[in-house]
Amino acid sequence: MKKMWMFPFLMALLLIFAAGCGKSEPVDTPGNEPKEEEPSEETPSEDPETEEPGEENPEEEKPVVLSLEGFGNTMSNIINDGMAVFEAPYLYHMDRMITGNILRTNLETKESEVLVEGQFSFLNYGDGTLFFAGSYYPEEATENSYGIFRMDTEGENLELIQKGYITDLLLYGEYLYFFNSDEGGLFRLKYDGTEETMLVKDVYEGYALVNDMIYLNNYLDGASESYVYKLPLTGGTPEKVDEQDTFGTYLFPAKGFILYEPRVDGSRGMTRFNTENGQFSQLDKAISDVTEAEDLIYYFWSGRRQDNADQGIYKSRADGSEEELILQVEIAFSLNYVNGKLYYHNNDEKRRISVLDPVTLEQSFLPLMEEIAP
């Protein structure tokens, strides 16, 4: 009986002790809700003079996600130095032949401004972003930065996304295609600098992207002759397109065709390969610096006459028909067609880029940086 009496007594003591300990952390039970205390004015997290926002929960910099489709420039423009690209109302362009500073000119107001100083070329545009290759030498740097750059169209957020001596940089979809002479090969790289892939090793020039295939005019596997090959955009084993070897590595794309010079004794004609149906045809002259327009191609031909009266800039259909000499000049190379105008080099003493309206034949030059800089 004594043990039965002691047990309820001990249980009562335990309940009293538990209730006393619970005062430091009130339990939220019905009819006994804890009173919510007002925060102190001296709480550091609420004091604007002592709080340092961003230190406890720093915001992570989110990668820029772009929506990219199609070409960032035409393949033929890129092969010819890629000196200009258009996105209304601006023409984004270099100011000097081969490589130069990058400027933009408002084609409505004719006002120009410098976006970035350096030695750049191979301009591409996509989703408010410019991609280009070359070298950049900021004042605070100790050495040049060579490689692929991207930048917004205001000239801000310049970023080096791939190092190396880069040529023939082409944006297509979400990927950049280019030659990297430092590593020796044709590469593809995602626009954010990831997923680098070597497509073909030990090639340095002579490629074109046409109808979702890569075409190469090159010496492969140590061969002493160059041939035209094709391979998928993702890489793979190059497949020979033409059993006839070629003269050099020049390869010009033109409206579903590729043009190249076969090695034929006593002949300076060109082979025209239709990338859609695989048919070959011949052009009886060796043209150069071909660039695509809406329904035409423009190119330079050195002519045959001794007085050079047939030498200059021509236009024709891609199949060679309706050929017309539009400007007689001794020198014109690296033709680019952008927004209805032809941009090209003519060995101007100031290294300016020439501009030709192919309809009115009005001629001018793109401005140099020093002509517009304050």
The Cα–Cα gap between 58 and 52 comes to: 11
At residue 255 the predicted structure's pLDDT band, cuts being 50, 70 and 90, is confident
- For 207, residues 6+ apart whose C-beta sits below 8 A from its C-beta are 168, 177, 179, 186, 214, 215, 216, 217, 218, 251
* C-alpha R_g of the chain: 33
What pLDDT does residue 40 have? 47
CB 336 within 8 A of CB 344: yes
pLDDT digits (tens, 9 = 90+) for 343-371: 999 999 999 999 999 999 999 999 999 99
The Cα–Cα gap between 155 and 181 comes to: 27
Task: Choose among 158, 306, 157: nearest CA to 147.
Answer: 158
Element (H, E) at 135: strand 129-136
What pLDDT does residue 91 have? 98
- For 62, residues 6+ apart whose C-beta sits below 8 A from its C-beta are none
The Cα–Cα gap between 320 and 301 comes to: 13
The Cα–Cα gap between 105 and 110 comes to: 6
The Cα–Cα gap between 86 and 102 comes to: 13
- For 204, residues 6+ apart whose C-beta sits below 8 A from its C-beta are 167, 179, 181, 184
Give CA separation, 200 vs 140, 177, 206, 209, 224, in Å: 37, 11, 12, 14, 17
At residue 27 the predicted structure's pLDDT band, cuts being 50, 70 and 90, is very low
The Cα–Cα gap between 100 and 203 comes to: 25
The Cα–Cα gap between 355 and 337 comes to: 10
The Cα–Cα gap between 79 and 187 comes to: 15
Mean pLDDT of 82-87: 98
- For 332, residues 6+ apart whose C-beta sits below 8 A from its C-beta are 289, 300, 312, 313, 344, 345, 346, 354
Sheet with 100-106, edge to edge strand ranges:
84-87, 90-94, 100-106, 112-126, 129-136, 145-152, 159-163
What pLDDT does residue 320 have? 86
Query: CA 207, 221, 231, 127 torsion: positive or negative?
Result: negative
What pLDDT does residue 137 have? 80
pLDDT at 44 over 70: no
What pLDDT does residue 221 have? 83
Residue 229: phi, psi to the nearest 5? -125, 165
Q: Record the pTM.
A: 0.82
CB 77 within 8 A of CB 336: yes
Mean pLDDT of 46-50: 47
At residue 374 the predicted structure's pLDDT band, cuts being 50, 70 and 90, is low
* CB-based burial label for 175 (10 Å; 0-12, 13-18, 19+): middle
pLDDT at 212 over 60: yes
